Amino acid sequence: MDTYVTRTGRPLFVDLDGTLIRGDLLWESLFHFARQEPLGFWRLFGWAFQGKAVLKDELAARTTIDAATLPYREEVVATLQAERETGRPIVLATASNERLAHAVSDHLGLFDEVMASDREVNLSAQRKLERIRDRCGAEGFDYFGNSHDDVCLFEAAETATVVQPDRSARRWHGGAARPARLIVDGDSSLRAVVKSMRPHQWSKNVLVFVPMVLNHEFLDFPMFRNAVLAFLCFSLAASSVYILNDLLDLEADRRHRTKRKRPFASGQVPIPTGLCLAAGLFVSAFAIAAFLPWEFMATLAVYMVATTAYSFALKRMLLIDVLTLAGLYTLRIIAGAMAIQSSESFWLLAFSIFFFLSLALVKRFVEIMDFGGGANRSSTGRGYVDVDLDTVGQAGMASGFASVMVLALYIDSGEVRELYAHPYFLWPLCPLVLYIIVRIWVLARRSQMNEDPVVFIMHDWRSQIMMVLGACMFLVAAYV
């Protein structure tokens, strides 16, 4: 990486939000506070009414952001390190609250001084320029910034460096009277936005088709159309919740080996963009649901309430989290039945609860293993510690075996004998499901399960073979 060094003794002032880091500490503080005190969110309105400076100060006093995990811009940091080696004075000048600014300064060790907002003054735009001029006098200064609020500082600086500019800053850079350096990331923002929706997770929502298939109604076009619309609704709704979940889990994700690369944790997608996207996805899901029976919309609403509660609180509760996840998978099956106006099977729901509880426990098992021997509640962001690993594994295997027992009892039930001409052809389903469950747990214990187990099953060719064989068993039992 090439670094650009200005051979001058002029002080260099560096903005924090969007410039030194990919992100905005005010937004991050808001979500940290929402996660820590979800029932106290109403207090934000009172603080905001007193002014932005008060809001920032109150949030900074009530939240703790780990400066070591923030997504710093490597090129900017490298340039500042090179400038510091020349003996040049460097000042962190930011509109973020002074508590957060000093935490960043202490972590990096690059700054001689910190200028930041306090309870009385929100140090942005013209206020920041006045403070810098008071500090420098006729000496002049150089400035690193990125946004509309920085344009007045670009104009006043001797040399300006524009970092990943917003629309206003980019327009200024294009028409600047004197050359200004431009630093931009090479990553595609559109690709990061799509990634934040986690479209690969949509494969979970094929569960809405299960009631239609088991009722042998897959050739009924109105039912198939409703199932497709239900799939689309759940996919959009789930994506909106994934975004909210990622915003609430920023700090925990940044400590994780792989999750730190997620679009919000890495700073590739700004938090305001994520909020707008989540709102749009939510509205779109319920707009489409209006074309389906009201029972489906009610089930979708229950799903949204449950997933929101999971994001804010339930996922940090021991065992409640995995039971909720199993219930959410089962809700997809119930929603599929509501979309085609079919009754749910007791056997199907019982199998679903045990099977998906096993997969949810796999997910927690892998997370505990990833954090290693020092895993605790604060580092994992969950209700588990390292000594829970064996218990979680044993419970997961037992739940998987229970699902196979339910399947065996279902195959031997009177319902199956009425529905299928040759029900004994369904018996091989039991070893097929056993293979899927045991294989997933073996891979998890080998640390070879690096994604959501449900998504893994949908994309793993061995599991796909088992599912195709299972589908063949149903067809043979029904039509041969």
Write out the DSSP string of 427-455: TTHHHHHHHHHHHHHHHHHTT---S-HHH
Rg (CA), the chain: 27
Same domain? 207 vs 323:
yes
CA end-to-end span of the chain = 67
Count of other CB atoms within 10 angstroms of residue 1: 6
Same domain? 314 vs 408:
yes
Same domain? 267 vs 338:
yes
Q: Is the pLDDT of residue 6 over 60?
A: no
- Which CATH number covers residue 129? 3.40.50.1000
Asked if residue 434 is part of any domain, the answer here is: yes
Overall domain count for the chain: 2
Same domain? 239 vs 109:
no
Same domain? 144 vs 86:
yes
Asked if residue 5 is part of any domain, the answer here is: no
The predicted structure's pLDDT at residue 372: 67
Same domain? 299 vs 331:
yes
pLDDT single digits (tens) 10-48: 899 999 999 999 999 999 999 999 888 877 878 999 999
Same domain? 357 vs 446:
yes
pLDDT single digits (tens) 362-416: 989 988 887 766 656 665 566 788 788 899 999 999 999 999 999 999 888 877 7
Contact present, 134 and 94 (Cβ < 8 Å): no
Mean pLDDT of the chain: 88
Q: Is the pLDDT of residue 298 over 80?
A: yes
The predicted structure's pLDDT at residue 30: 93
Q: Tell me the residue range of the domain where 95 lies.
A: 12-183
Same domain? 165 vs 240:
no
Q: Domain boundary residue among 165, 183, 201?
A: 183
Q: Domain boundary residue among 132, 165, 183?
A: 183
Asked if residue 7 is part of any domain, the answer here is: no
Main-chain phi, psi angles of 62, to 5 degrees: -105, -5
Alpha-carbon torsion (115, 118, 120, 124), positive or negative: positive
The predicted structure's pLDDT at residue 356: 93
Q: Is the pLDDT of residue 3 over 60?
A: no
pLDDT single digits (tens) 405-459: 999 998 888 777 877 777 888 888 999 999 999 999 999 998 888 777 888 888 8
Same domain? 319 vs 431:
yes
Query: What does pTM read for this prediction?
Result: 0.83
The predicted structure's pLDDT at residue 373: 62
Task: At 274, list the tokens.
Answer: 């994520």
Same domain? 222 vs 342:
yes
Q: Domain boundary residue among 183, 215, 243?
A: 183
pLDDT single digits (tens) 341-366: 887 778 888 999 999 999 999 989 98
Asked if residue 6 is part of any domain, the answer here is: no
pLDDT single digits (tens) 214-251: 877 767 788 999 999 999 999 999 999 999 989 988 88
Cα–Cα distance list, 454 to 200, 358, 376, 451 (Å) = 11, 10, 25, 9
Contact present, 12 and 20 (Cβ < 8 Å): no
Same domain? 140 vs 224:
no
Main-chain phi, psi angles of 28, to 5 degrees: -65, -40
The predicted structure's pLDDT at residue 138: 73
Asked if residue 4 is part of any domain, the answer here is: no
Asked if residue 74 is part of any domain, the answer here is: yes
Task: At 355, list the tokens.
Answer: 């099977």
Same domain? 261 vs 179:
no
Asked if residue 351 is part of any domain, the answer here is: yes
- Which CATH number covers residue 324? 1.10.357.140
Least Cα distance to 361 among 384, 378, 377 occurs for 384
* DSSP 8-state symbol, 72: B
pLDDT single digits (tens) 128-184: 999 999 988 778 899 999 999 999 999 999 999 999 999 999 999 988 777 889 998
Q: Is the pLDDT of residue 271 over 80?
A: yes
Strand 90-97 to strand 181-183: parallel, antiparallel, or no bridges (unpaired)?
unpaired
Asked if residue 216 is part of any domain, the answer here is: yes
